[in-house]
Amino acid sequence: MEGTMKAAVLRDWNDLGVEDVPIPAPGAGEVLVRVSACGLCGTDLKMVQGGFAGRWPPSLPFILGHEWSGEVVELGPGLDPGDLAFDVGSRVVAENHAGCGACAMCRSGSYNLCERVRRPGYRLYGHTAPGALAEYAVRPATVLHPIPEEISDLAGALVNQGALTVHALRRVQFRAGSSVAVFGPGLLGLLSASVARAAGATTVIVVGRGRRLELARQMGANAVVDYEAVDPVTGVREHTGGRGVDYAFDCSGNPAVIPQALDSVRRGGKVAVLGLAAGREAGISPDRLVLDEIDLLGIRSSPNAYPAMIALMGSGAVDVSPILTHVYGIDEVDRAFQALKSREAIRPIVKL
Ligand SMILES: [Zn+2]
Ligand SMILES: [Zn+2]
């Protein structure tokens, strides 16, 4: 498709402007997608500020955006609809990368850990290759998943983060009938609570503060701990008869929370860390890890987890509507980032 499109272009650090740029053309095996909605996350904000300068993005100008939904408008050369799960007109969501497909990690299915991810030319969309804060985006067909009509364009923009929580549940080998503590009721924390509940958690305790705890209750928490009012470890343990939870999910991005999460699980419990800590370190007790056999697990991205998250949302098992509160036009992208920075919005979403 010839022509130009509007895109939010990062021209310099802290300088994001809406510009007309050429609509990208899909190459072999690629698909042109009209973007419907694109969420903004903390990583995007950090990238705007130059927090990952030289790596994410590798150079300027750059188009951000990696949490999005859209509609297929054109199949690139070599693609046959008969071989795909979608066609022109299908509504889709996109993973951020496909992996190289050839390294040992990709071949084992862990393409989130592709060994070539830092090689020049590796395409991590929205980080090292053009993102979706634009009217159109090109992606390999292999990263796209169709979504049913039950998932709105706005809700579709949350599949990316939801799939990450599905991956976290798989990493801890989650079992139905268990107890979960979630630290940090941002988007990942709220989705973790909701997905854990849908997966059969019978006790879901969210640790945080302020009005986000109300939202946590709407999203499936049946207990909340306000860490400004009570010690978070004591609070979590009180809700489990003193025993500790089976699983703790740290979605806070604050390394000081990791020791709290470790102290909140029962003997043999598991702690999953979902948030990056921007280079800061955490002090943990090896004795607790060893004597109580605690599993401490890092969670990166969402390999093979999009279909499950789409099914959870499409069936109504996970309802993200309470989060869809802050929607902006592309010309308001600065305001959208402001709402993220001020913590007014859990997830500002740009509607295109
Ligand atoms: Zn993100
Ligand atoms: Zn690979």
User: What are the pLDDT digits (tens) for 226-247?
Assistant: 999 999 999 999 999 999 999 9
Q: Are 75 and 61 in contact (CB under 8 A)?
A: no
Query: pLDDT value at position 63?
Result: 98
Gap from CA of 276 to ligand 1 centroid (Å): 11
CA distance 169 to 76: 35
pLDDT in tens, 116-163: 988 888 999 999 999 999 999 999 999 999 999 999 999 999 999 999
Gap from CA of 201 to ligand 1 centroid (Å): 25
DSSP 8-state assignment for residue 102:
S
Query: pLDDT value at position 276?
Result: 83
Gap from CA of 188 to ligand 1 centroid (Å): 10
Question: Could you give the strand order of the β-sheet that contains 245-250, starting from the edge strand earlier in sequence?
Answer: 223-226, 203-208, 179-183, 245-250, 265-273, 295-298
Gap from CA of 189 to ligand 1 centroid (Å): 13
Question: Average model confidence (pLDDT) for the chain?
Answer: 96
At 246, which amino acid appears?
A: D
Supply 75's token pair: 């199949």
Please name which ligand lies nearest the alpha carbon of 64: 1
CB atoms within 10 A of CB 265: 27
Gap from CA of 127 to ligand 1 centroid (Å): 10
Per-residue burial over 144-174, b if 16 or more Cβ lie within 10 Å, else e, is bbbbeeebbbbbbbbbbbbbbbbbbbbbbeb
Gap from CA of 306 to ligand 2 centroid (Å): 19
CA distance 52 to 55: 6
pLDDT in tens, 62-106: 999 999 999 999 999 999 999 999 999 999 999 999 999 999 999
Gap from CA of 231 to ligand 1 centroid (Å): 30
Please name which ligand lies nearest the alpha carbon of 163: 1
Please name which ligand lies nearest the alpha carbon of 68: 1
CA distance 249 to 169: 9
